[in-house]
Amino acid sequence: MIKEFKEFISKGNVMDMAVGIIIGGAFTAIVSALVDSILMPIIGMISGGMSVADMSVTVGNATLGYGAFLQAIIDFLLVALVLFFIIKGLNKAKNAVAKEEEPAPEEPAPVPEDIALLTEIRDLLKK
């Protein structure tokens, strides 16, 4: 069982996934800082100085703080948008490299004279 676990851990996919998770966490922190420090203050100015994270509704004795939820949705959408553009750019670059490596299609071999003559005779007989 230990041997199987070592093989599983040492496979490239697991290592790639680990690196992706670590980079994703760091990237999320960057986008969260962008949202918290730049975008939310702008939205707060538009909404009359109210912070989105502080938005809430009081129903009876209960306070429903929906602002944090809205902030999390905005964070998610921005991370998804930036990742979309990154993946789109990577795919475009990958396709450009693939086109450069793709060999040019070969021209078809010329048709021998006897085949061309037979084709012409066939076409004349059809008429």
**What is the DSSP-derived secondary structure letter of residue 48?**
T
| pLDDT tens for each residue of 52-69 | 777 888 888 998 888 888
Whole-number pLDDT of residue 12: 63
Domain coverage including residue 30: 2-126
Rounded to an integer, the average pLDDT of 67-91 is 82
Give the 3-state DSSP-derived string for the chain, with helices as H, strands as E and coil as C. CHHHHHHHHHCHHHHHHHHHHHHHHHHHHHHHHHHHHHHHHHHHHHCCCCCHHHCCEEECCEEECCHHHHHHHHHHHHHHHHHHHHHHHHHHHHHHHHHHHCCCCCCCCCCCHHHHHHHHHHHHHHC
CATH label of the domain that carries residue 84:
1.10.1200.120
| pLDDT tens for each residue of 1-60 | 888 877 776 776 777 777 788 888 888 788 778 877 887 788 778 877 777 777 888 888
This model's pTM is above 0.75: no
If one counts the domains in the chain, the total is 1
